[in-house]
Amino acid sequence: MFDDLKGRAVLVTGASTGIGAAVARGFGRAGARVAVHYRRSADAAEAVADAVSDAGGEAILVKGDVTDRADVKRIVEETVRAFGGLDVLINNAGDIVFRKKLEETSDDEIDFVIDLNARAVVSMCLAALPHLRKSKGNIITTTSVAARQSGGPGTGIYTAAKGFAQSLTRFLARDLAPDGVRVNAVAPGFILTPLQDRNSTDEQKAQMTKLIPLGRAGLPEDLVGSYLFLASDRLAGWITGATIDVNGGQYLS
């Protein structure tokens, strides 16, 4: 089904754990060449790269901080140097970081959440665009069901940043269409990942699961097909500016 992804150069940010790791492995199974980006989790990233290779793809490890513009440029350059170009950018790195009432949140904390979840998407797109224009490639950004709803308790800045990323997706889709570059997004619902382990109590997880009509929390693997579909020119070549909601019906609550 995804034969046209074979050999394509894909950069997945935040690929050492969670959704990013599952997506990187999925592209590996499709025979893609995958740049597995990570910031701190070197061992986990190496395991993902090994899984990509074992599945029939090709993988490199790229370390860097997506909130640092110089690092972002280097991440893209290392990917292009290794693969000879770039076909697909997956903007997946992000985090809730903390749960706090807005009035209890410091300026530095606000800046960091916005830098990680919004500004980093802009920086990565800017660095990748010259290469994506050459390949007529595409961008897929991980947003969140929070961008459609009001977000969970204490996540106002994260929710707003994800809303920014979703709006940027629509703008870039229209702006880059004449260049043949497609831009889409995937909006996960409540997914069992290390991000939730860091930022949600067991009680909060149980409450969020109760809101899901399909009756269970999502797993990272539940997201993979959406990314592969959007990346495929054969299957999604006339889709741009779209957001695929993968949330078990959570957004209906």
Long-range CB contact pairs, 169-178, < 8 A, 24+: 169/139, 169/141, 169/143, 169/241, 169/243, 170/241, 172/125, 172/139, 173/240, 173/241, 173/242, 174/241, 176/129, 176/132, 176/133, 177/240
Sheet containing strand 58-63, edge to edge, reads: 58-63, 33-38, 9-12, 88-91, 138-142, 182-188, 243-246
Identified catalytic residue from 38, 158, 227, 251: 158
Task: Let me know if 227 is a catalytic residue.
Answer: no
CA 54 to chain CA centroid, Å, is 23
Asked whether the beta carbons of 253 and 228 are under 8 A apart, the reply is no
Both tokens of residue 48?
């993902």
| Spatial separation of the C-alpha atoms in residues 105 and 144, rounded to whole Å | 21
If you search the block for the tokens 């991000």, which residue do you land on? 195
Looking at the annotation, which residues are catalytic?
A: 158
